Chains A and B, each alone.
Chain A
Amino acid sequence: DGGITQSPKYLFRKEGQNVTLSCEQNLNHDAMYWYRQDPGQGLRLIYYSQIVNDFQKGDIAEGYSVSREKKESFPLTVTSAQKNPTAFYLCASIGAEGGYTFGSGTRLTVV
């Protein structure tokens, strides 16, 4: 079945450490997105990519970085510059029919 796979499901980060969240899709979608979800705030866009080797900042890109070397993959790195990284992170893609397909998310906790 086609879909989006996010890993790991749970991730723990120490202070000053960079961590990378994986997002892989087999839907042949061009556009992919990373969102951050905090309680009571809905989803906020971190980065998006409309095509391989190109990506754009969203509303809250500071402290995050991404790459898009392959159509199927859009990893997100949470750097030490992100001072409040504890959140639920969601990856999504969109096809021609409209509407996002979401992964099952990664919960990141600072320890």
Chain B
Amino acid sequence: AQSVTQPDIHITVSEGASLELRCNYSYGATPYLFWYVQSPGQGLQLLLKYFSGDTLVQGIKGFEAEFKRSQSSFNLRKPSVHWSDAAEYFCAVALYNNNDMRFGAGTRLTVKP
């Protein structure tokens, strides 16, 4: 069955530390891959996306993600976390028509001063 897994429900990091949020998917083919961020009580904002080509993609707010086909992963990274990055992060995957987009359960990020 098609699925998206974010293994970490909640992560706490210190401000200025590096961050990596994990995402694994199970699909029959390589899907389109996305990361979204959600602040409390708000909608989701697209951070970055991967369709094809260079497996390291740059997004907004200093985030990047790396697609690893062999591991079926699309992990999100940031070299130095800011307090404003505290939010919930969702990984999502979709096949060709985007009407089958599946979201992970989310990872809540807390940033310590």
In the complex, the answer to whether A102 meets B45 with C-beta atoms within 8 Å is yes
Complexed CA–CA distance, A98 and B104 (Å): 18
A interface residue numbers (CB < 8 A to B): 4, 6, 31, 35, 40-43, 45, 48, 50, 56, 90, 92, 94, 98-105, 107
In the complex, the answer to whether B99 meets A50 with C-beta atoms within 8 Å is yes
Shortest CB–CB separation between residue B98 and chain A, in angstroms?
6
Partner of A42, one of B45, B49, B51, B104: B104
Q: Which residues on A sit within 8 Å (CB–CB) of B28?
A: none
In the complex, the answer to whether B104 meets A94 with C-beta atoms within 8 Å is no
Q: How many B residues are at the interface, by size bracket?
A: 20 to 34
**CB closest chain-B residue, reference A4:** B43
Supplied contacts A42-B104, A50-B99, 19 more A-B pairs, CB within 8 Å: A6-B43, A40-B105, A40-B106, A43-B90, A45-B101, A48-B99, A56-B99, A90-B43, A90-B44, A92-B43, A94-B98, A99-B34, A99-B49, A100-B36, A100-B44, A102-B45, A104-B42, A104-B43, A105-B43
Give the tally of cross-chain contacts (CB within 8 A).
52
**CB closest chain-A residue, reference B49:** A99
Shortest CB–CB separation between residue B101 and chain A, in angstroms?
7
Q: Which residues on A sit within 8 Å (CB–CB) of B32?
A: 98
In the complex, the answer to whether B43 meets A43 with C-beta atoms within 8 Å is no
In the complex, the answer to whether B105 meets A42 with C-beta atoms within 8 Å is yes
